[in-house]
Amino acid sequence: MARPDKAASVAELEDQFRSSNAAVLTEYRGLTVAQLKTLRRSLGENAQYAVVKNTLTKIAANQAGITALDDQFTGPTAVAFVTGDPVESAKALRDFAKENPNLIIKGGVLEGKALSADEIKKLADLESREVLLSKLAGAFKGKQSQAAQLFQALPSKLVRTVDALRAKQAEQGGAE
């Protein structure tokens, strides 16, 4: 890497690998510029999709501590650097790949762990973070209301039992 422009590219890519939650490697062979523009828009603001040079990206990934992707830097490669919710970005890539079979998801990395293409597709099948959190909150709320009903049932059952005992004692006292 004698050229300063290549060193700057590697430093920028390394920074992107370090600052992102996830990175997804794709092959874009056969996609038009308009299709790539549509893909970038579909990823939204929480991901940046960049066409990269394999050698420089491999060096940057290694410097960022990511070595599991080394064998995937072949052919025309683009990387989606995800800074937001990785599930949303995985869904956007999966949906775009369904409509455009020329986009091939090669693999990726999520918080330092290497993911295969199949694992990224499974990630895309998950519900979004907000939906999962709302389901969790609903489950907690349901458990709280069950506990409240249980705590309300105990005193009322005690009152009914005491009333039944009084009635029984009154019957026995009246019979004597």
Q: Give 114-154 pLDDT, tens digit per residue.
A: 888 888 888 877 776 677 778 777 777 767 777 777 777 77
Higher pLDDT, 128 or 96: 96
Average pLDDT in the chain: 83
Please identify which residue in the block is written with the tokens 């009246």: 174
- Per-residue pLDDT, 151: 74
pLDDT tens digits for range 14-44: 888 888 888 898 988 888 899 989 988 888 8
How many percent of the chain have pLDDT more than 90? 2
Between 157 and 99, the higher pLDDT residue: 99
